[in-house]
């Protein structure tokens, strides 16, 4: 408790500075400056970041010369490629060594490759840049991902999955629940219920669709050591689920530093493809980044790395239609005299990176108030819920 207070209070002066500089970094070097992001990423990956980073810098095995003939692939299939079944091996020109590298790093689906930036494919699989570029272009061609009309998007959005939170009021302001294909950011002071909602969704995602779940598993990336299987057990019990089974469906990884966190997310790809993972939780998104990249000079690299990390999560959401919940802390607003004196940490990078942003604060007793502060197509609404022995529930039941 004491530790928590100092965490949020003591940081206020620094946070004000941080915020300003974060904004400057944003204005001058956001996504447009992807070279810098790559550089920062490569730097961070240099020391012991895993095999793929080390082997990702060259085309030692001569795979540069891959000739990818997409039209031949489409023709060979009679023009009816089933994208769920097509793998990289089916692309003419992708030799066995590249196919092996891709498969080993979790890229069995062609959709996953089509939505990756070449650098990321390089880093994650260890293939060379030119090859990565060619393969991605071929995958994009096969997936024909350029333009679609609004009715197609409409149909696609109708099929988006939602995970209920446990509170009908909260589900309602979220447009039904935690959405797949998107990042939902829970932001608020300590003990406002961010971790509790994340735990509850790890249970609820396992429910069948008609009960508000996705019949899937959850992957929980814990950066603060606040993951509690006992709490999951209580929540599962309250729903009458087989507790042992419910716990088996939550895959846990403790991230010890920001680099480790990024690497876990890289490995997540394989898990998502093979384990029916439908929810990724990162609790908390930025605590490691904040503590490791300390002081004004470190803000640029920190924001760049954070940007890369958020894109990494978003790419997984887009490709596999999984939902992501990330939690975030608040920091003091530098120039506020009236109203709410705190703002979400992480500056514009996090603000732009998350699809839905939910601001949480304490209400009376065990109640909490959640407010949608930034969401495409949703009004700025508030919901009251409570945290009980059973988990997340409506305030009035």
Residue with nearest beta carbon to Mg ion:
195
Using the contact rule CB under 5 A, the part of the chain among 7-15, 120-128, 181-189, 195-203 near Mg ion is 195-203
The listed partner (ligand GTP, Mg ion, none) that binds 4, CB under 5 to 8 Å by sort, is: ligand GTP
* Closer to ligand GTP by Cβ: residue 192 or 206: 192
Question: What contacts 366, CB < 8 A, 6 or more positions away?
Answer: 386, 387, 388
**What's the CA gap between 136 and 170, in Å, rounded?**
39
Q: What secondary structure letter does DSSP report for 224? A: S
* Closer to Mg ion by Cβ: residue 194 or 386: 194
Does 328 participate in binding Mg ion (rule CB under 5 A)? no
Q: Where are the beta strands (DSSP E) in 223-355?
A: 250-254, 277-283, 323-328, 330-332, 342-344
Please pick, from the candidates 195, 206, 328, 331, the single residue that binds Mg ion as defined by CB under 5 A: 195
Using the contact rule CB under 5 A, the part of the chain among 191-199, 230-238, 313-321, 359-367 near Mg ion is 191-199
Taking the complex as a whole, the smallest distance from the CB of residue 166 to ligand GTP amounts, in Å, to 12
* Closer to ligand GTP by Cβ: residue 50 or 188: 188
**What's the CA gap between 146 and 261, in Å, rounded?**
32
Rule CB under 6 A: which residues touch ligand GTP? Answer: 4, 188, 190-196, 226, 231, 366, 387-389
Tokens of 366: 């065990």
- Closest by CA position to 99, among listed 137, 130, 126, 71: 126
* Closer to ligand GTP by Cβ: residue 321 or 358: 358
SS3 97: helix
Taking the complex as a whole, the smallest distance from the CB of residue 208 to ligand GTP amounts, in Å, to 26
In DSSP terms, 283 is beta-bridged to 222
Taking the complex as a whole, the smallest distance from the CB of residue 206 to ligand GTP amounts, in Å, to 19
The listed partner (Mg ion, ligand GTP, none) that binds 193, CB under 5 to 8 Å by sort, is: ligand GTP
**What's the CA gap between 208 and 187, in Å, rounded?**
28
Q: What secondary structure letter does DSSP report for 380? A: -
Summarize as ranges the residues that interact with Mg ion (CB under 5 A).
194-195, 226
């Amino acid at each position: 408790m004491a530790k928590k207070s100092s965490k949020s209070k003591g940081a206020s002066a620094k946070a004000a500075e941080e915020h300003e500089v974060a904004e400057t970094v944003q204005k001058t070097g956001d996504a447009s400056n992807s070279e810098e992001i790559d550089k920062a990423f490569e730097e961070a990956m240099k020391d012991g970041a895993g095999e793929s980073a080390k082997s990702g810098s060259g085309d030692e095995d001569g795979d540069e010369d891959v000739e990818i003939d997409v039209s031949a692939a489409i023709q060979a299939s009679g023009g009816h490629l089933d994208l769920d079944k097509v793998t990289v091996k089916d692309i003419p020109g992708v030799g066995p060594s590249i196919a092996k590298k891709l498969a080993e790093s979790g890229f069995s689906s062609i959709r996953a490759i089509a939505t990756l930036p070449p650098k990321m494919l390089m880093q994650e699989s260890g293939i060379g840049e030119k090859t990565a570029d060619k393969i991605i272009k071929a995958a994009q061609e096969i997936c024909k991902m350029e333009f679609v009309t609004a009715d197609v998007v409409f149909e696609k959005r109708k099929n988006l999955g939602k995970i209920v939170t446990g509170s009908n009021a909260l589900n309602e302001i979220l447009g039904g629940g935690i959405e797949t294909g998107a990042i939902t950011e829970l932001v608020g002071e300590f003990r406002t219920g961010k971790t509790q909602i994340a735990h509850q969704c790890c249970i609820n995602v396992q429910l069948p669709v008609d009960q508000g779940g996705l019949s899937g598993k959850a992957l929980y990336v814990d950066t603060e050591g606040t993951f509690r299987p006992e709490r999951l057990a209580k929540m599962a019990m309250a729903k009458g689920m087989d507790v042992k089974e419910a716990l088996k469906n939550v895959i846990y990884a403790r991230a010890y530093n920001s680099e480790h966190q990024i690497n876990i997310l890289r490995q997540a790809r394989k898990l998502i493809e093979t384990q029916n993972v439908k929810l990724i939780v990162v609790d908390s998104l930025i605590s490691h980044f904040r503590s490791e990249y300390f002081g004004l000079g470190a803000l640029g690299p920190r924001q760049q790395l954070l940007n890369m990390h958020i894109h990494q999560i978003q790419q997984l959401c887009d490709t596999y239609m999984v939902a992501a919940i990330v939690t975030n802390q608040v920091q003091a607003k530098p120039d506020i005299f009236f109203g709410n004196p705190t703002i979400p940490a992480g500056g514009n990078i996090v603000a732009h990176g998350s699809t839905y942003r939910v601001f949480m604060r304490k209400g009376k007793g065990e109640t909490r108030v959640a407010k949608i502060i930034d969401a495409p197509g949703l009004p700025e609404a508030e919901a009251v819920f409570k945290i009980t022995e059973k988990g997340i529930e409506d305030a009035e039941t």
